[in-house]
């Protein structure tokens, strides 16, 4: 009854309903008898009891399913990605650490199976995503509180829904909150092949912004360049090309960037600063190089450059749940209009989590690992 392997591969909504809800008919959903105790042994989750190497500390375990109370929502997870923040959280070096033992995963999409008597915002059959980090999405099913979930359209592509609540939100807020950009303005970013980077390219294109996208040199550079340009990237450069003296002429043909988005740090961020327009802003949201951001005194004094940081979890703390839901709906609109797609993804069954974890930590990763709850 609960298998979703065919669903994930076929993406057939009618089949999803038949598999998850045998009582679904043309007139709507008729509640079917459900015994939590009968299904408890089949609930599986990726759990870690202490911090360390994800490949060593994460284990696939059986869990009991809590009873559904008044404001509870029983969710069957469909898919959940592995993000860098998930890895950092397991390693113990992230700004938000859940109480141990914990279920991994901060993002994903699930389908509502049953709701408590006090629930009004979602109903069986709805698709939902986490409202906040730390929910633990790497599991086959769970019971969450209604306030921990946000409803999204169930006709979204599965991969888009599963990767909606972290990277696209980060990209959108950085493009909107630090500089008053107008169509035709330029944005420069490093780590352009990351999940955030791919979202930045697409959202910027939808807003009429021009992008300079920096990536590390690699054997399949042309393939990556072609993919990023297919998403709307105007220019794709390697970090080595960005350091060349000829870049001065490059910005004679297009405006200097007013906004730089830094996920790397070290020399890469220094180069972004060097090409920023006077008065521009560099926003740091990651530190892949594990090296500090270094800004010269002359850049700060004579160009009046601004250095800022962004963390989506902090943005959520500073804004209401309604504002985050509005952001999600805005992004759903972009997806619906074909202006925002999921990053390049590789779907991996939950039981093959070791392979997915190892792949997610490899260098030059251009494909996000998504766990499918088969």
Annotated catalytic sites, by residue?
A: 94
102, 48 contact by CB (below 8 A): yes
DSSP string, 114-170: EE-TT--S--TT-EEEESSTTS---BSEEEEEGGGEEEE-TTS-HHHHHTSTTHHHH
The first and second tokens of residue 210, run together, are 């021009």
Q: Which residues contact 205 (CB under 8 A, 6 or more apart)?
A: 211, 231, 232, 339
- 73 phi, psi to nearest 5 deg: -130, 125
Residue from 344, 265, 336, 349 nearest 307 by CA: 265
How far is CA 28 from each of CA 21, 50, 113, 125, 127, rounded to the nearest angstrom? 11, 45, 14, 10, 16
Query: 300-308: long-range contacts (C-beta < 8 A, 24 or more apart)?
Result: 303/276, 303/278, 303/279, 304/278, 304/279, 305/273, 305/276, 305/278, 305/279, 305/280, 305/281, 306/178, 306/279, 306/280, 306/281, 306/282, 307/281, 307/282, 308/178, 308/281, 308/282, 308/283, 308/284
Distance, CA of 214 to CA of 196 (rounded, Å): 13
Burial class (CB in 10 A: 0-12, 13-18, 19+), 306: middle
CA angle, 284 then 91 then 41, to 5°: 125
How far is CA 304 from each of CA 125, 220, 265, 273, 307, rounded to the nearest angstrom? 53, 38, 20, 11, 10
């Amino acid at each position: 009854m609960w298998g979703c392997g065919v669903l994930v591969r076929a993406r057939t909504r009618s089949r999803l309903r038949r598999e998850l809800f045998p009582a679904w008919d043309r007139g709507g959903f008729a509640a079917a008898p459900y015994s939590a105790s009968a299904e408890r042994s089949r609930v599986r989750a990726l759990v870690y009891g202490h911090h360390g190497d994800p490949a060593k500390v994460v284990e696939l375990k059986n869990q009991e399913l809590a009873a559904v109370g008044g404001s509870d929502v029983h969710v069957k997870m469909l898919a959940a990605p592995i993000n860098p923040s998930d890895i950092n959280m397991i390693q113990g070096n992230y700004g938000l650490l859940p109480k141990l033992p914990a279920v991994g995963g901060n993002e994903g999409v699930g389908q509502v199976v049953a709701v408590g008597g006090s629930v009004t915002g979602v109903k069986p059959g709805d698709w939902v995503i986490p409202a906040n980090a730390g929910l633990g999405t790497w599991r086959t099913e769970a019971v969450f509180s209604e306030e921990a979930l946000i409803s999204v359209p169930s006709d979204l592509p599965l991969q888009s829904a599963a990767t909606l609540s972290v990277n696209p939100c980060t990209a959108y807020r950085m493009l909107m909150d630090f500089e008053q950009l107008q169509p035709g303005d330029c944005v420069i970013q490093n780590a352009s092949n990351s999940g955030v980077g791919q979202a930045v390219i697409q959202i910027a294109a939808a807003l009429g912004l021009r992008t300079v996208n920096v990536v590390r040199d690699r054997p399949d550079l042309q393939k990556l360049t072609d993919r990023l340009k297919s998403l709307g990237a105007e220019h794709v450069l390697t970090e080595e090309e960005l350091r060349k003296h000829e870049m001065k002429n490059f910005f004679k043909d297009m405006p200097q960037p007013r906004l730089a988005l830094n996920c790397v740090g070290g020399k890469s961020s220094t180069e972004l600063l060097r090409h920023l327009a006077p008065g521009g802003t560099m926003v740091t949201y990651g530190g892949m190089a594990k090296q500090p951001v270094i800004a010269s005194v002359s850049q700060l004094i004579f160009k009046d450059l601004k250095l800022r940081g962004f963390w989506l979890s902090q943005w959520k703390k500073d804004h209401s749940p309604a504002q985050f839901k509005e952001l999600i709906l805005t992004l759903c609109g972009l997806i619906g209009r074909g202006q925002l797609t999921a990053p390049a993804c590789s779907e991996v069954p939950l039981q093959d989590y070791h392979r997915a974890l190892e792949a997610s930590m490899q260098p030059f990763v251009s494909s996000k690992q998504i766990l499918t709850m088969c």
